[in-house]
Amino acid sequence: MRVTPGVAIVPILVLLLTWLSLRAIDPGAELFDIAVGELDRFSTLENALYRDVFTARAGTLRNYDPLVREINALHDSLARLRETAAIDSETTALSISL
Amino acid sequence: MTRLWSPASCRRQHLEIASARGPAVPAVSRARRRPLWICLALLLVLASGAAAQAPDSEPSAAKSLADQEPITPIPPPPAAEPQKLALGERLFGDHRLSADGKLACSSCHDLRTNGASGGQAVAHDGSKSPFDTLTVFNAALNFRLNWEGNFWDLGAHMESSLENPVNMRTSVDEVLRKLNADPQMVQQFRAAYGRAPDRTSFLDALATFERSLLTPGSRFDRWLGGDASALSPQELGGYQLFKSLGCSSCHQGVNVGGNLFERQGVFRPLVPGKPEIVRVPSLRNVATTAPYFHDGSAPTLEEAVRKMAAAQLDRTLTDQQVDSLVAFLKTLTGTYRGVAVVGASQ
């Protein structure tokens, strides 16, 4: 009869660990990674734009196409960040309501 | 512990190995010789890699030329789904895109000639549009659309063109109603987009087609690509003059313009009235797109060049300089679907 407490602990532990695992699942983690990646990309583009503006100021930029490309890319990046923020706010609202 | 590889560490290991050599410890020696062999193999790999890269690192004439000039060659049209492209092309020539069914996009943008018409677009009542019709060729390469540069997006521009009270006088909703009433068109939309015509698919099909309207293969682009015989000495002289006068301050990049705004009539009046600031037009196929300026007031390229030099650069050009510049500008005429772009018949 000494085995009984041990046997009883096993399912409790399993249940506890399962509950902890479920609690540890973060559905927003992927979204967070995407957003951080996009922020990095935005930062890189911004730096490239600054570099090319200074190059133009120095008179060594051959044409303005790089500036156009970088500005367009910044707009695209901003749109993607806004989309991510919109999804994130939906997720947050959902989790609050739950 | 991770040991980073370096030539110094390699040499140190080699010395250690050399000092450890001896008849008494042959097994250890063999074991210690292994890093040496690894170092040698790495060196061999690096050397062979450098040798393989050597031809690439030597800048070819074509690459160095394109890298040094303010103008870059037109790229090939972007990859697009054939069904969407075919649908866009069909819509481009569809007269249901105007209220009275008399005009299509191709009515003012003739793809058989210069992608434009011979001047201002004709309104439904026979009057003329206030602006000279811009060519649709290479329009997708411009950073803004229209003379005033008031559109960023091809879709928004198309929507506005459809609603233009001067010619098309319709709306996307009205066009969609007509298209949805045509079973054949609905079938083509379903094949391309998996659904019946709607605003997104309709504008996307047209934009996809418009992005394909590029005219690569001009003689100047061939010269940029390394073909020294593509330009005559006079044309090359014209290009040098184009740069030295300062024309290339605004007319540069892949579209030889189209990537900035500029005030018109800086030193002398150029075109009376508004807009005072225009999106710099592209000079691609410029020899085929007379008349010139946003009011179409310059009938010939020679006159346009002379007026531009005076108004924008405060320079009075000689006849020889004008001829030279015009000779260069004529080399910017490209091809559409393998056929050279030609001037409008009007």
The HSE-up count of residue B41 (CA atoms within 13 Å, CB side) is 6
Contact A68 B70 (CB under 8 A): no
CA distance B255 to B289: 15
Question: Mean pLDDT score of chain A, rounded to an integer?
Answer: 87
For residue B95 the two structure tokens come to 């007269």
- pLDDT reported for residue B5: 42
Contact A65 B72 (CB under 8 A): yes
CA distance A25 to A10: 23
CA distance B284 to B220: 10
- pLDDT tens string for chain B (346 positions)? 334 444 444 444 444 444 444 444 444 455 555 666 665 666 655 555 544 444 444 445 556 677 789 999 999 999 999 999 999 999 999 999 999 998 999 999 999 999 998 666 666 666 667 789 999 999 999 999 999 999 999 999 999 999 998 889 999 999 999 999 999 999 999 999 999 999 999 999 999 999 999 999 999 999 999 999 999 999 999 999 999 999 999 999 999 999 999 999 999 999 988 899 999 999 999 999 999 999 999 999 999 999 999 999 999 999 999 999 999 999 999 999 999 999 986 4
Instruction: Name which of A60, A67, A66, A65 is nearest B251 in CA terms.
Output: A65
- Chain A, chain B: beta-carbon pairs less than 8 Å apart: 26
- Contact (CB, 8 A) for A28 and A91: yes
Chain A closest CA to B307's CA: distance in Å? 24
Contact B259 A62 (CB under 8 A): no
Whole-complex ipTM: 0.75
- pLDDT reported for residue A4: 76
- pLDDT reported for residue B48: 54
Give me the residue label for tokens 């492209």: B85
Contact B70 A63 (CB under 8 A): yes
For residue B175 the two structure tokens come to 């066009």
Interface of B with A (CB under 8 A): 67-72, 143, 252-254, 259-260
CA distance B317 to A87: 60
- pLDDT reported for residue B40: 61
DSSP B33-53: HHHHHHHHHHHHHHHHHHHHH
Contact A62 B70 (CB under 8 A): yes
Residues contacting B168, CB < 8 A, separation 6+? B97, B98, B99, B103, B161, B162
Q: What is the dihedral of CA B43, B45, B46, B49, to 10 degrees?
A: 160
Q: What is the mean pLDDT of residues A71-97?
A: 81
Contact A65 B69 (CB under 8 A): no
- pLDDT reported for residue B2: 39
Specify burial of residue B61 (Cβ count, 10 A radius: 0-12, 13-18, 19+): exposed
Chain A closest CA to B253's CA: distance in Å? 5
Backbone angles phi, psi at B109, to 5 degrees: -115, 85
- Contact (CB, 8 A) for A67 and A56: yes
- pLDDT reported for residue B16: 44
